[in-house]
A = this chain, B = another copy of it.
Amino acid sequence: MTTAEAATAPVPIQSTYQTHVADYWNAEENPVNLELGKLDDLYHHHYGVGAVDLSVLDEPDPVRRRERITAELHRLEHGQAELLAAHLGPLSPEDRVFDAGCGRGGGSVVAHLRYGCHSDGVTISAKQAEFANAQARKRGIADRVRYHHRNMLDTGLRSGAYAASWNNESSMYVELDLLFAEHARLLRRGGRYVVVTGCYNDTYGRASREVSLINAHYICDIHPRSAYFRALARHRLVPVHVEDLTEATMPYWELRRQADHLVTGIEDTFLTAYRNGSFQYLLIAADRV
């Protein structure tokens, strides 16, 4: 068995809240996730970054227009996944990485393709884990990339076994002290942790109305930026690169709000939150010391 796991798998659900989160993701079938993923079988559950090709909106053929918008959004989401993955390395094929809140599994595949490394993804949704494992089998990498129906706060995976780990837009569902304690436990000394997340901006003040509406939409609980750095400091995770991706993600949202076949209804709220300064899209890379 290639997975660095303990004998007994822990119980994934520990609270009513987690049940609701699991239910949400077990039921979720948003086109913005499924349609984009189908393009190349890389299913992401996060937003995109980078400059957008707005010409796709001018495509006269309505079917082709949809396809081009879908492809463009997927390109931006993939760019975000690659940006995150670039901060994990260097890694070798012998290394093992941990994908906390892996969703339908795209991030682990990206990391594997880039570095050849082993990956253990964890999701609270049984359906997502099953879907992701099916994808891995289809790609023929199921011996290297595995997805587990677990709780990312208590994975049961082996201490010190991981060279890198990450949360891609999944840290807003959990208590950061519990999350970073688990990453710190799993990472070897010198290992790298990366998080990409929306956070609310303490400089603005407390959570704005828009931030609360996003919380209500996803049943999540967005942390202030300060909470990340306080919790990292408590768990021997030392930042080495911090990048405000707010500007870089706004073109994605501008395009997505105009993609009628993909919108979920939360697009304008994101844009308002970014613009009024209450919300930020942040990447933090930190070392386990």
- Residues on A facing B (Cβ under 8 Å): 14-18, 20, 173-175, 189-190, 202-209, 212-213, 215-216, 219-221, 225-226, 229-230, 232-233, 236, 238-244, 276-278, 280, 284, 287, 289
Contact = CB atoms under 8 A, between A and B. Distances in A.
Contact of A238 (B215, B229, B241): B229
Given A203-B190, A204-B15, A242 B239 contact: yes
A74 B186 CA distance: 46
Nearest to A214: B212
B190 A15 contact: yes
A16 B277 contact: yes
Contacts of A212: 212-213, 215-216, 219, 221
9 contacts: A18-B205, A20-B205, A203-B238, A203-B287, A206-B221, A209-B216, A229-B238, A239-B242, A242-B242
Given A16-B278, A216-B213, A233-B233, A202 B287 contact: yes
A39 to B, nearest CB: 31
A32 B173 CA distance: 35
B229 A239 contact: yes
A5 B238 CA distance: 32
Given A212-B216, A216-B213, A232-B229, A206 B238 contact: no
B229 A219 contact: no
Contacts of A189: 14-15
A251 B18 CA distance: 29
A16 B18 CA distance: 33
A227 to B, nearest CB: 9
Given A20-B208, A206-B220, 18 more contacts: A15-B204, A16-B205, A16-B278, A17-B204, A18-B205, A20-B209, A174-B206, A190-B203, A202-B287, A203-B287, A203-B289, A209-B215, A212-B212, A212-B215, A216-B216, A233-B233, A240-B242, A240-B280
Contact of A233 (B230, B243, B289): B230
